[in-house]
């Protein structure tokens, strides 16, 4: 096992020199988690908005379900996706297990409920304000949903970023369905887990640094978006 | 007695208005029949019956909390009455009917977009994309200089003017205006009044809530006085303003608000 100071120095030089393995792992992480975030928004925003503006029997049950699904443990999601994609599973013929696509699917399932539940809240609040005006104009459901999503865009961006933050930081799901295969499905979190257990602290620390910068960067982005929105009275 | 004659004239004129209202299938003619609205155990509107002509400017007056805004929302079909019927030209208001009307709310509901985008939005809702018309409208209400500004950063009076421009964009047959000049400066009030007059001349039925007897005198053909959820009086404007029937209306007009 390396000395900690030495490992930290090595980690910094890996980051500074743009080490090929490191870059590959970071790039795959971003690709997987950004794709999952995009898909989760594509599904979650319209569904969240529809539930926000519609009253139907069993609506409260749906809301409770949304909120409960927000807390899905990543390993459980990984396990469920694994069971479907494994060779014996119903979707085994697709041959997706241990591919980045499988990882995107798992992370999408993990964060779609977050996007749905949070955007439902955001859009319901906005709708309370707009509802009379919309009814007066006689807008179709779709016109209402698209107008609400557009007008809530700043809040919804922060919702998307919250989803991305959760996706990029989770280990359990991508480990199970991706398998942490070198040059294929190795992402930051799984690499950190592996390298740490192997005792290669330098790469683990370097990845940890990058992950932290991304997480903090996302947070800073959320804050500055919020401030821009407030300045324009669009929040 | 000249005074007596004026009053009689007014009554005759008012009867004409009434007549128009009842005989026609004019979609701009509103009729409320025994309309009540109860929320929880509070009755906000009680047995309101009212028949308005399809043309002219009707103004609704009454103290704060009387139920004026509620009455307008009931008329526009935004709230369903607990009891009674609301009809336009003898028919209940459906979506197609509501599309021919425009309402300006007491508290303007502005989208979180620029001033131009707010007008474009309602035009687009009617399938229209017309930048020239939109600019004309903004010019009309004196907001062209603010066109690119976020709408919600406009001053209170400017927001009301934008809401009015948006309503005009719909070229409505009926305009329902809930205190559209409440926070305007005197010059803007006159400007808005002339815009409303113009729309009226062009054939739009105007229903307008105000607290200002002076404004009612300038604009109204007939006045509805609402008090504690009831329609207390409905009559020609000059008659109501000079000789209201009820003590409540007299107190209201003399600034001894009765709540
Ligand atoms: N959703 C609601 N539930 C219960 N009461 C309500 C509701 N909305 C309004 N009210 C009450 O109904 C009454 C009439 O309200 P409305 O807004 O019609 O008054 P208004 O005549 O327009 O007064 P103002 O001149 O202040 O605008 C008020 O006392 C108000 O508190
Ligand atoms: Mg009111």
Phi-psi map region of B228: left, alpha, beta (phi>0 left; psi -120 to 50 alpha): left
Would you state the pLDDT for residue B258?
61
Please report the pLDDT score of residue B2 as a whole number. 44
Q: Cα(B210)–Cα(B114) distance, rounded to whole angstroms?
A: 28
Q: How far apart are CA B80 and CA B68, in angstroms?
A: 15
Residue A10's pLDDT is 87
The reply to whether residue B121 touches residue A234, judged by beta carbons under 8 angstroms, is no
Query: What are the structure tokens assigned to A94, written together?
Result: 């697709």
Model pLDDT, residue A233 = 78
Residue B223 pLDDT exceeds 90: yes
Mean pLDDT of all residues in B201-209: 96
**Residue range B203-229: mean pLDDT, rounded:** 96
Per-residue pLDDT tens digits for A17-51 = 989 999 999 999 999 999 999 999 999 999 999 99
Write out the two tokens for B120. Answer: 């474009």
Q: CA-CA distance, A178 to A186, in Å (whole number)?
A: 8
A124, pLDDT greater than 80: yes
pLDDT digits (tens, 9 = 90+) for B104-160: 999 999 999 999 999 999 999 999 999 999 999 999 999 999 999 999 999 988 999
Task: Compute the radius of gyration of chain A from its Cα atoms.
Answer: 21
- Please tell me the distance from the alpha carbon of residue A49 to that of residue A68, in angstroms, as a whole number: 18
Domain spanning A4-233, CATH class: mainly alpha
Q: Which of B73, B95, B105 lies nearest to residue A138, judging by beta carbons?
A: B95
- Length of chain A, please? 235
Q: Whose CA is nearest to atom 29 of ligand 1?
A: B65
Give the confidence band of B16 by pLDDT, cuts at 50, 70, 90. Answer: very low
Is pLDDT at A234 greater than 70 in this prediction?
yes
Q: Where are the domains of chain A?
A: 4-233
How far apart are the C-alpha atoms of B244 and A160, rounded to whole Å?
Answer: 60
- 3-class DSSP state for residue A160? helix
pLDDT of residue B22 exceeding 50, the answer is no
The pLDDT tens digits of the residues spanning B55-79 come to 999 999 999 999 999 999 999 999 9
pLDDT band for position B3 (50/70/90)? very low
Q: How confident is the model at residue B8 (pLDDT cuts 50, 70, 90)?
A: very low
Q: Are B213 and B188 in contact (CB under 8 A)?
A: no
Pick the closest to residue B247 from B230, B237, B233, B235 (CA basis).
B233
Partner residue opposite A133 with nearest CB, options B101, B109, B150: B109
Number of Cβ within a 10 Å radius of residue A16: 9
Mean pLDDT of B25-36: 94
Give the confidence band of B7 by pLDDT, cuts at 50, 70, 90. Answer: very low
CA angle A125, B167, B13 (to 5 degrees): 125
- What is the distance in A from the centroid of ligand 2 to the CA of B212? 13
Whether the predicted pLDDT of A198 surpasses 70: yes
Residues 6+ apart with CB under 8 A from B103: A136, B72, B76, B78, B167, B175, B176, B177, B178
Residue B4's pLDDT band, with cuts at 50, 70 and 90, is very low
Asked whether B243 and B7 are in contact (CB, 8 A), the reply is: yes
Q: Whose CA is nearest to atom 1 of ligand 1?
A: B39
Average pLDDT, chain B: 90
**Ligand 1 pocket list (CB less than 6 A):** B 39, 42, 44, 62, 64-70, 106
CA separation for the pair B34, B50 (Å, rounded): 9
| ipTM of this complex | 0.86
CA end-to-end distance (rounded Å), chain B: 36
């Amino acid at each position: 096992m390396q000395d900690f100071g030495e490992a930290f120095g090595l980690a910094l030089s890996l980051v500074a020199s743009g080490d090929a393995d490191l870059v590959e792992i970071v790039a795959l992480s971003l690709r997987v988690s950004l794709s999952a975030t995009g898909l989760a928004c594509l599904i979650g925003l319209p569904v969240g908005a529809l539930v926000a503006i519609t009253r139907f029997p069993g609506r409260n049950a749906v809301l409770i379900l949304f909120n409960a699904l927000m807390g899905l443990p990543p390993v459980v999601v990984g396990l469920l996706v694994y069971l479907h994609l494994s060779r014996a599973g119903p979707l085994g013929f697709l041959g997706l297990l241990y591919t980045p696509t499988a990882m995107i699917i798992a992370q999408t399932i993990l964060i779609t409920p977050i996007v749905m539940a949070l955007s439902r809240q955001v859009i319901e609040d906005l709708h309370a304000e707009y509802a009379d005006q919309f009814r007066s104009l006689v807008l179709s459901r779709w016109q209402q949903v698209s107008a609400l999503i557009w007008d809530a865009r700043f809040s919804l961006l922060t919702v998307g970023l919250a989803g991305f933050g959760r996706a990029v930081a989770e280990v359990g799901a991508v480990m199970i369905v991706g398998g942490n295969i070198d040059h294929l499905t190795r992402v930051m979190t799984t690499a950190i887990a592996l390298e740490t257990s192997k005792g290669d602290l330098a790469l683990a620390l370097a990845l940890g640094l990058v992950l932290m910068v991304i997480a903090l960067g996302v947070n800073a982005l959320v804050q500055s978006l919020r401030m821009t929105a407030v300045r324009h009275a669009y929040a | 007695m000249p005074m007596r004659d004026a009053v009689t004239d007014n009554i005759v004129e008012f009867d004409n208005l009434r007549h128009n209202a009842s005989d026609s299938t004019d979609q701009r003619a509103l009729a409320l029949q025994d309309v009540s609205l109860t929320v929880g155990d509070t009755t906000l509107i009680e047995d309101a019956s009212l028949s308005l002509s399809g043309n002219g400017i009707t103004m609704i007056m009454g103290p704060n909390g009387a139920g004026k805004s509620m009455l307008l929302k009931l008329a526009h079909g935004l709230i369903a009455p607990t009891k009674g019927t609301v009809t336009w030209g003898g028919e209940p208001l459906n979506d197609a009917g509501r599309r021919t009307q425009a309402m300006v709310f007491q508290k303007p509901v502005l989208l979180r977009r620029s001033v131009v985008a707010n007008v474009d939005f309602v035009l687009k809702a009617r399938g229209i994309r017309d930048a020239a018309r939109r600019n004309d409208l903004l010019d009309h209400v004196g907001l062209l200089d603010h066109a690119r500004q976020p709408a919600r950063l406009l001053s209170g009076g400017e927001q009301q003017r934008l809401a009015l421009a948006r309503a005009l964009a719909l070229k409505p047959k009926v305009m329902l205006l809930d205190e559209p000049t409440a926070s305007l400066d005197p010059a803007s009030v006159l400007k808005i009044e002339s815009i409303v007059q113009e729309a009226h001349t062009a054939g739009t039925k105007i229903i307008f809530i105000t607290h200002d007897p002076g404004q009612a005198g300038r604009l109204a053909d007939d006045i509805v006085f609402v008090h504690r959820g009831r329609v207390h009086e409905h009559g020609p404007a000059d008659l109501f303003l000079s000789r209201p029937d009820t003590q409540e209306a007299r107190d209201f007009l003399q600034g001894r608000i009765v709540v």
